[in-house]
Amino acid sequence: MAPELPKHALIAVTSHYAPFYANGDPTGLFYTEALHSYLVLKGAGFEVDLASETGTYGIDPHSIDKMFMSESDYEIYNDKSHEFSKKLAAIRKASELNPSDYGLFFASAGHGSLFDYPTAKSLIKIAESVWERGGIVSAVCHGPAILPSIIDSKTGKSIINGKRVTGFTDKGEEVLNVDKIMRESKVVPISQGAAQAGGKYEEPENPFDNYSIVDGRLVTGTNPASTTSTATKAVEAFNAL
């Protein structure tokens, strides 16, 4: 590992919090994608920060449904004194951070990511710095919405150009009944964004199965259930540098 690569991770969080679902509910951060990645990274000995583009966030209410949350997840969610709860409440603004402080970048998600990640200049700058210095860039679910915008200075192309990548599937959007809403909102689905950037998009047979991919220093996962495996593989890739 290069001596300048710190064991310090940044978890990116979407700033977008606005009505999205057919019933008027907002989308924003998918809670467990930030929580589970944080727990894996902290457990592996990383210093971990959370940041969004604007320094604000909102939790997608659908993400805290019992379908997606375990008993231990709810315990942390309801415990404002837990270290994760404190970090999230005091979320940083990406532009106020020093990109060179980080050796691993992890993009958590929620449908909100589709709206702000592609143009989140400060988060992108941090990820580009991590990549440039030989670190790990990882993303889960809709987090890969940021990847086409992360440019490799050596090639002038996205870091996913020519690489295997996954993310939330088109079939998954249909199952959640938000595919039409996404088209109306003019956001780019993960598979389409990856293909446009030259990525080799792959997906599991079941859109909600745990599925994560490592291609060199790029680590991606398909859905919320893949968060732990994606973060674990990101740690393994970092340790192998």
Domain boundaries, the chain: 8-239
What class does CATH assign to 8-239?
Answer: alpha beta
* 237 pLDDT higher than 90: yes
Residue 80's Cβ-count burial label (10 Å; 0-12, 13-18, 19+) is exposed
Instruction: Say whether pLDDT at 171 is over 90.
Output: yes
Burial classification of residue 109, based on how many CB atoms lie within 10 Å of its CB (0-12 exposed, 13-18 middle, 19 or more buried): buried
**Does residue 78 carry a pLDDT above 80?**
yes
Average pLDDT along the chain: 98
Asked whether the predicted pLDDT for residue 3 surpasses 60, the reply is: no
Task: Look at the pTM and tell me if it is higher than 0.85.
Answer: yes
* Cα gap 206→172, rounded to integer Å: 8
- The C-alpha R_g of the chain, in whole angstroms, comes to 16
pLDDT tens-place string over residues 15-71: 999 999 999 999 999 999 999 999 999 999 999 999 999 999 999 999 999 999 999
- Average pLDDT estimate for 156-181: 98
Active-site positions read 141-142, 173
* pLDDT above 60 (res 9): yes
pLDDT per position as a tens digit, 189-216: 999 999 999 999 999 999 999 999 999 9
In DSSP notation, 110-169 reads: -TTHHHHGGG-HHHHHHHHHHHHTT-EEEEETTGGGGGGG-EETTTTEETTTTSEE--S-
**Which pLDDT band, with edges at 50, 70 and 90, does 73 fall under?**
very high
Write down the pLDDT at residue 2: 52
Q: In whole angstroms, what is the distance from residue 55 CA to residue 173 CA?
A: 28
